[in-house]
Structure 1
Amino acid sequence: MAEPIDPWPGEYVGLGEGRQVFVRSDSAPADGHARPRTVYVHGLGGDSTNWTDLMGVLCTEWAGEALDLPGFGSSPPPPADDYSVDGHAGTVARMIAAGEKPVHLVGNSMGGAVAVRVAAERPDLVKSLTLVSPALPDLRPRLVPYQMAASLFPVLGPAVYGLMQRRPPEVRVQDMIATTYYDPSAAPPRRVMEALEAERRRDAQPHAGTAVLRSLRGLVAEYLRRGHRSLWQQASRVRCPVLLVYAAGDKFVDPRMAARAANAFPRSRLVLMPETGHVAMMECPERVGREVRAFLRGVESGGSARSRRAGAFRGPLGVRCR
């Protein structure tokens, strides 16, 4: 296995109306050829460094920009402490609109839900959509999400979260890897140390707990939303090509939701990754990169995602990466 690369450098980007986010950008190749812009959106509790390795795999062809959502990583809290999916989507849309557009938009988990809202409501900004274990509404019980749900109660929630945060950062990081990876031993020691350093930085940020709790509440509110702005309804209105990457060993997003997602998006291609957890782009960036590269090349060449209705899938849930 190759030595992990350094996290990409970043800078603060002003988005107007008191909004500012920290954005990491990959390096341009030596030949200086133009690369299509690609924007990456992390999940709950993550940050822009979640995309380091996937950006490294794709950077020779696509110009990657990964933001820290407001209140996460190095980004300050949002105005009025708005951590709703709408608030995060507004931030992503502002960031995209500030540069060359439309972009290839990539999201993981909560970032996938945010990306769906952007693609549905601002189709002028999004050329293609890649979703890695997207947090689309699913109310069927699963152990890890239900353990997280205790943090939603107004008084009990902060107390429970505070108790969890009082554990040593080393324990918290190991728990995070154990729940988000299929094989925790696959996490390179360097990435584990970087995660530990990030956890210690979060401990020093007074807004870090608020960002996680309120973003989680905002995500749950989307799970309960009905009507034309529900995420499943919006998925059906996304017209750009969509690549869906689900993981068979995901403890957060039920891989059985993959078939529903493939049917919801009109122009979708589905990839089901065996022996992989919730953060496939971190656990196996080369495998994910192969799928994303093939998909984006097809989009750039004027093709589109192959749809289930066109009979493009192999097996009951799609293409299996090996």
Structure 2
Amino acid sequence: MTSADGDGALAAADPAVDSSTALPGLGTLLPPWPGGQLPVGGGDVFVRCTPWTGPVDGGRDGAPRERALYVHGLGGASTNWTDLAALLAVRLEGWALDLPGFGQSTPPPRGRYSIRGHVRAVVDVLEHIRQQPGDAQGQPVHLLGNSLGGLASLLVAARRPDLVGSLTLISPAMPVYRVPPAFSRALLLLLLPGATSLAERRLAGITPEQNVRSMIRMCFGQPDRVPRERVEQAVAEMRARAEQPWADRALAGTMRGLITSYLRVGRANAWRMAGSLQRPALVVWGDRDRLVDPAMAPRLAAAIPDSRLRILEGIGHVAMLEAPEPTARAVLGMLEALPAG
């Protein structure tokens, strides 16, 4: 929990408590979960579904069966959540969406990319999930987001707390006012009119293999430990994405939308919204994150009224990919501490 002291500063957030629940093994390379198109806001997004498995020991009677939505980061896709969703399936039936213009989702109406547009897509999917028949019908959904998806998830939870049961933020792209060393300072040019087209042309000159290798170096704390099979899977996915005529525009346009969102002040600022959250939250950060400064982790956790913090040693920007089991244990630990129902 957090509270203000006499100087107006916020006390440190509670450390996350790991669950001791038995988890399924991840000894083999899991294929992506199946999915399909879902109408949202005048368009469609692709959503993958991970079925609930119940406890590893098979004792399903009376076992919690709740719902979760997973939201990927910039340049990512629903497949980023394959392993974590498999682990959390002992408690959670999961949905993972491709944000508009990413993965297998088509561009948003009129091809305009903004953080508000991604937030609207997440809200639409949450409302769809909540309406599905079953034990958890009508109940709030546990929302998990990474990077850009973490920022969007925080904004959703602040604006629509009725839809959210809990919030897990994995290295969320909170507003910063200096460029991380891993980024080219040329990205700031995206704020200029017409710069998105220039960025598209530059992105088009990068091969899928170069793109994947670069992303692994930036996003993983220990790039050399990424299994060869995972690299090959990512390259195949990147090749398929390169064939989409809107792929580079989606990346450049969303990056511009992310940067411009940082300029919002007052109640629309994400840091202000963090302080208004009404749902329990877990903040997960790798101490080798090269994209979003890990020093922001305790600050964000302290800003959220009901929060827990987990810092993962040796891990980078995508803990759900690089450290799925420790991440799953922290998420389950939070959920198990919530009041029943």
Q: Does 162-171 or 195-204 show the bigger shift?
A: 162-171
Name the SS of the counterpart of 1:275 in structure 2. coil
Amino acid at match of 1:105: L
Larger RCO of the pair (alpha carbons < 8 Å, separation 6+): 2
Contact 1:248-1:274 at 8 Å conserved across structures: yes
**Correspondence list, 1:163-178, <5 A:** 163-178=202-217
Q: Paired residue for 1:287? A: 326
Can you give the 5+ residue segments of structure 2 that lack an aligned partner in the other structure?
Answer: 1-25, 131-138
CA positional deviation for 1:130: 0.2
Deviation at 1:81, TM superposition (A): 1.9
Q: How far apart are the structure 1 equivalents of 2:185 and 2:225?
A: 25
Note the residue ranges of structure 1 that are not aligned, 5 or more in a row: 303-322
Could you say which residue in structure 1 is the equivalent of 2:79? 49
- In structure 2, the CA distance between the partners of 1:23 and 1:289, relative to structure 1 (3 Å rule), is same
Q: Are 1:103 and 2:132 matched, yes or no?
A: no
Verify the 8 A CA contact 1:249 1:276 in the aligned structure 2: yes
Q: How does 1:269-284 map to 2 (within 5 A)?
A: 269-284=308-323
AA of the residue aligned to 1:298? A
Normalised by the length of structure 2, the TM-score is: 0.84
SS in structure 1 at match of 2:213: helix
| Aligned counterpart for 2:220 among listed residues 164, 181, 184 | 181
Aligned to 2:99: 69
Counterpart secondary structure, 1:149: helix
Mapping of 1:132-143 within 5 angstroms?
A: 132-143=170-181
Question: 1:257 is aligned with what amino acid?
Answer: M
Say whether the 8 Å CA contact 1:186–1:283 is kept in structure 2. no
Deviation at 1:221, TM superposition (A): 1.3
SS in 2 for 1:99: helix
Aligned residue type for 1:265: I
Q: What is the CA distance between 1:158 and its match in structure 2?
A: 3.4
2:47 counterpart of 1:23: yes
Deviation at 1:147, TM superposition (A): 4.0
Classify the secondary structure of the residue corresponding to 2:169. Answer: strand
Match status 1:266 vs 2:266:
no
Alignment of 1:2 onto 2:27: yes
- Partner Cα separation in structure 2 for residue 208 and residue 246 of structure 1: 28
Aligned twin of 2:201: 162
Distance 1:291 1:92 in 2: 23
CA contact (8 A) 1:4 1:188 kept: no
How high is the TM-score relative to the length of structure 1? 0.88
Shift of 1:99: 2.6
The structural deviation recorded for 1:300 is 5.3
> Offset at 1:140?
2.9
Q: Is the 8 A contact 2:285 2:294 kept in 1?
A: yes
Deviations 1:273-308 (A, max 9, x none): 111000011011111111111112222547xxxxxx
Over the aligned positions, Cα root-mean-square deviation in angstroms equals 1.8
Question: For 1:79-94, what aligned pairs fall within 5 Å after superposition?
Answer: 79-94=109-124
Contact 1:150 1:160 in 2 (8 A): no
1:112 aligns with 2:137: no
Matches within 5 A, 1:124-273: 124-147=162-185, 149-150=187-188, 152=190, 153-273=192-312
Cross-structure match for 2:19? none
- The code of the aligned residue for 1:26 comes to T
What is the CA deviation profile of residues 164-184 of structure 1, one whole-angstrom value per residue up to 9, with x for unaligned ones? 432321111111111100111
Give SS of 1:144's match: coil
Listed one character per residue, the Cα deviations across residues 120-160 of structure 1 (whole Å, up to 9, x for unaligned) are 00010001000000001111342123446156144455334
Which letter maps to 1:83? Y
Query: Following the alignment from structure 1 to structure 2, what is the Cα–Cα distance between the partners of residues 105 and 214?
Result: 24
Equivalent position amino acid for 1:248 in 2: D
